[in-house]
Amino acid sequence: MTDLHGRRIVLGVTGGIAAYKAIELCRRLVDAGAHVAPVLTEGALHFVGRTTFSALASEPAQVSLWDEESPIPHTRLGQGADLILVAPATARALAAYAHGLSDDLLTATLIATRAPVIVCPAMHTEMWEHPSVQDNLRLLRERGVVVVPPAEGRLAGGDVGTGRLAEPEIILDAVHHVLADTRRDLAGLRVLVTAGGTREPIDSVRVITNRSSGKQGHAVAAEAAGRGAEVTLVTTVDRPAPVGATVIRVSTAAEMEAAVMPLAAQQDVIVMAAAVADFRPAMVAARKLKKDEFGDGGTPQIVLEPTHDFLVDLGASKPSGQVLVGFAAETDDVIDNARAKLARKRLDLIVANDVGAARCGFEHDTNAVVLIGADGLHQDVPLTDKRSVARALLDAVVELRSTP
């Protein structure tokens, strides 16, 4: 989220328990360079303080239509906004917006704007599922409003169900997606991304896996979707899906192969960011193996067999014009090993990643990589957030596609 410099975003906060999460959203938007104007409803003030948002945002938070210093605040805010983001959006706020009831500053601003609008509903499950709420959301979607649906999880009062405000990363992805129309260089392209580490079963309980968190692959998928691509994300991790991506969840290397290969020939770009296991147990027990089955001091022997390296198949059968990207997670001789993998697997581009370096690779939010291309490209991407790494990677893909 480093490309919001100068963008004017009205952040609407309504009266739900999730209002406290809007504080983090405000901070992140400002950190990304946006000019944030907070608008709080009277209900929101029961949960969060006006002073908090005034301190964090780009201008003082506003609550009332009747501000002597700004006699028509809703038109000023609505006309000047590049985007209006409502998080959380309560059932009442959605109903008022859908039916044009401009009885507070936020709904008046929503009606007085031609800027794109994102609403992020948050409420109890029963309210979320009520037909009136769903009808209002359907009406708003028909008008072009972007809805970031709530997540499933623990709710206020200890209940569990659908209704939690979406995680900040998902909401920020939606902001990026909506505001990225000035950079739609992947529009019309089909991009397939893999993410996460595969899990190879030993028995019905235990698995062999690796430390991949899937963060880099998900960042690539989110960046590609934000730049207009039709994205398919094949992932092993239970992370929120990037806005605009079709997600296929898998576990093992074989499942990932089964998901990727039938789609491969139709893709314009394939980014194999997943950490696919090289080996798996040759025999998988259908039940949990008990340690007392092996006698006193006995140790089970796990016999491994290689998994099928379907990246080789992708390289061998790559259609004309497709860009195939691989990753090389290394700890020694990083560049040499990456170049060898690039040639051996007939890739167009490889991302060399020293996973032994500080704050790089698995599980971290940051990364430092080297982009190496079959055309001679050698580009260092110094330590930065993984979304920025994804941006550099896709910039290189766009350059490759534009080269005759």
337 is catalytic: no
Q: In degrees, to the nearest 5, what angle opens at C-alpha 166 toward C-alphas 160 and 170?
A: 145
Task: Report which of 43, 85, 38 is spatially closest to residue 61, judged by C-alpha positions.
Answer: 38
Helix (H, G, I), strand (E, B) or coil at 371: strand
Task: Find the distance separating the first CA and the last CA of the chain, reported in whole Å.
Answer: 31
Q: Which of 136, 210, 337, 367 is catalytic?
A: 210
Instruction: Supply the Cα-derived Rg of the chain in whole angstroms.
Output: 24
Q: Is the dihedral of CA 335, 338, 344, 347 positive or negative?
A: negative
Contact call for residues 376 and 343 (beta carbons, < 8 A) = no
**Alpha carbon distance 250, 238 (integer Å):** 10
Query: 218 φ, ψ to 5°?
Result: -65, -35
Helix (H, G, I), strand (E, B) or coil at 26: helix
Task: Report which of 403, 275, 250 is spatially closest to residue 328, judged by C-alpha positions.
Answer: 275
Catalytic center residues: 210
